[in-house]
Chain A
Amino acid sequence: MSLMLTKEDLAKYPFLKQSIAYIESMQLNLGDLAAEEYSGILRKALTRIKDSIDRKINPADLSDLESEIISYPLSLALVYGSKSNWLLNRFATIEAKRVEEELRREPRDKLLEIAKSGFSWEIEPVDLRLEWEELPFSIPLQSYLEAATSFNDPHWKLINRYVKGGRVFLNSGSLARLISEGFKTKIIRRASERELHNFRIPEALAPYLDEIQRYAQENMQFDDELPQGLVSDARPPCIAAIMEDVKAGKSLSHMARFALTTFMVNVGESVDDVLKLFGNVADFDEGKARYQIEHIAGMIGSRTKYKPPKCDVLRSFGLCVGMDEFCRNAKHPLNYYRNKLRRMRKPGGQTGARDRKKGV
């Protein structure tokens, strides 16, 4: 074990090289974990998953390190075994949030150690003091781009980072976020690997899988406020403009793609319909697009992250084109859409016929 990383760290950060080695050294068999002697661990794993469903972010339980460490691979196995994208995303998101919170309490050298052990990024400590802040870490450009392109917050765009000599300079908070996002990506990517496609939970654990699935079912919330399918006339100008670009076969920016996809998914379009929409865009890659859209769609109901960006954000990306009366009262494109729908449905307003099959 490295000088700095303790067994507590293995419990807090399951993605560390050392954590993985530790678990492997125990030579556990998944099926065996249903046995009586492991019931404590099993209970821990179940709680871990249920907490994620409830969006409860608990720090690692350090009173019994061993079971805390083992409860992670066990809960992960149950999540993979459920074959539910919704649960997978929820679990990965909450685990990542937990890790981020833990990381924010770590000193710099520990943070560095964790980043190096968990990922193949060549992070280096640096001593960059700007006028008003310090950036104590640097990471190679390509590692940053691999880790950060899934972020849709403008602050993560490369152009809004301190970039010099092929490296991106970061403060501790950003590095913590990068690590936790990297962790989340690992959990989700792993699920689409071939070996996991045929993964089945051992018979002995099946009742617990049922329990988890039932719990997930009960707690999944569906966004039923919006109609199932796009009502064209209620589209906000920004979204209409992006759709025009799509129609013209123009290549969309990352943000435009994200705004359009999240918008469509949030108004109840299916993944297939959204994919069809992108069909004639120049740089379209169906496999990848499907993955991204499903990713976004899987998050629906969680009401957390994968909503379209706010008007402010769209504006700063040059995607806001309109200022009609609904725009003036909306801070968010979905807001715009809801208000306009409501108006259209009032007596005397236009009737909003669904026209999802028309395409664009």
Chain B
Amino acid sequence: MHEIVRKEFREYYSGLRAEDLEIPDMPEREFAFLQFGGEVMIRHMKFLDPQSLKGYIVENTPAHIYHSSAYYKAPEATDMNEKGWLGADLIFDVDSDHIRTECKERHDRWRCMECGRDGTGFPPESCPNCGMKKIDTRTWICEDCLEAAKKEVVKIIDEYLLPDFGVSESDFEVFFSGHRGYHIHVRGGTFRMLSGDGRREIADYVRGIGLDIRAHGFREEKSGILVGPDMKDGGWRGRVARAVYEFVNRSSLEDMRKVVAPTVAKSLYENKEKFLRNISSYPPYWGGLKGYTLESLEKIAFASIKGLTCNIDERVTIDSKRLIRCPNSLHGKSGLRTLRVNYSCIDNFDPLKEAVAFRHGSIRIYVKEAPRVRIGDEELGPLKDKTLEVPLALGLYLICRGAAEPR
């Protein structure tokens, strides 16, 4: 069944302009490939220019094509010491699989490999029946998942990279991964030499891990007065202050009760206006409510920042020698392209349309089982056990996902 996919992939790569495979500092990157049906990664390849990369790809037609986030003195060396690490891009990987969206109820299933218990939606960490962690999942993506992933990307960039880390618009690129999410590549010199530990701090920073609000100016003076930061402050300091403002402003009494003791919730709710005025005055005043202590403030702060932390796969960010998909290569599990996204237009970016690589032709397939799927403008399903003729891109998508076979 792979033969047809392989043939179409080859055709796609033959028709591609070599420049489309260009990546910055190509001679310093390691390239890696995974063949169709192959399990072993072909690694330590070096290409001096996009033409030779294209030549290799057309000849071998791999299912997945990667380059290293790292720069090396000798990318072709197999030994890490000989490779000579010269730095690495900082990568953020947003994967819709890790985001709890409601749509997952509609298109995802899981099954315990131990006892057979199954269910729909976001998979549990361990089986609710037998407690084992061997959970098999069958996950799909839809517009809603990808939209949620896009929101995370915008959050990372607008809330963290630009204001806090001082990254400029020309220092990063955003890519649709070709399947479940997005990658942000930060290429500027600032982060290039960061060690794994430094990258870990960056990841923790955007994920909100280890936050201590006392380090950001919240404290109880000896006199019992509660002081705290200003909303205009930089970094997490101002972020927490603004988050608390937002939270208190929009919360009902019920919402507050979920976070703090009933008496505190009541006094906060009844004095909402005054509290908000106090914390937005200068210098801000954070106390003055009955029963309201630094501990309650801490609880509110942590409840408030929930939506502000970023959902990334931290392992990718921490790794200073990660392999990452090449721009304009095809994703072997979807047949879609890894596509550079113009960040200023990301709101209107429709990955399931713009990343379509096969725009013509149709294919006859047998579908075992699939939820509703859209590729380009074509929609299909949910369906089961059916043979039908579909546009090529959609057919290849289902075949690559393992849900269909060519007929």
Contacts and interface: CB of A to CB of B under 8 A. Distances in A.
Interface of A: 130-133, 140-142, 145-146, 149-150, 154-155, 157-167, 169, 248, 251, 253-255, 282-283, 285, 288, 316-318
A160 B193 contact: no
B61 to A, nearest CB: 30
B197 A158 contact: no
B315 A149 contact: no
Contacts of A141: 165-166, 190
Contact of B215 (A142, A149, A155): A155
Given A130-B230, A160-B236, A163-B234, A251 B190 contact: no
B273 interface: no
Given A154-B215, A160-B236, A317-B210, A132 B227 contact: yes
A145 B205 CA distance: 12
B236 A149 contact: no
A151 B201 CA distance: 11
Contacts of B191: 142
B152 interface: no
A254 B198 CA distance: 10
Contact of A131 (B193, B198, B217): B217
A162 B237 contact: yes
Contacts of A285: 196
Contacts of A140: 190
A165 B217 CA distance: 20
Interface residues of B, number: 43
A149 B318 contact: no
A159 B205 contact: yes
Contacts of B133: 248
Contacts of A130: 217, 229-230, 233, 237
5 contacts: A130-B217, A130-B237, A145-B195, A157-B204, A166-B165
Interface of B: 133, 163-167, 190-191, 193-198, 200-202, 204-205, 208-212, 215-217, 227-230, 233-237, 282-284, 314-315, 318-319
A142 B315 CA distance: 19
Contacts of B228: 131
B164 A163 contact: yes
B196 A142 contact: no
A253 B200 contact: yes
Given A131-B217, A131-B230, A164-B235, A142 B193 contact: yes
Contacts of A166: 164-167, 190
Most chain B C-beta atoms within 10 Å of own C-beta, residue among A130, A154, A255, A282: A130
A282 to B, nearest CB: 6
B234 A164 contact: yes
Contacts of A132: 217, 227, 283
Contacts of B211: 159-160
A149 B314 CA distance: 17
Contacts of A161: 215, 235
A342 to B, nearest CB: 31
Contact of A164 (B164, B193, B195, B230): B164
B233 A254 contact: no
A142 B190 contact: yes
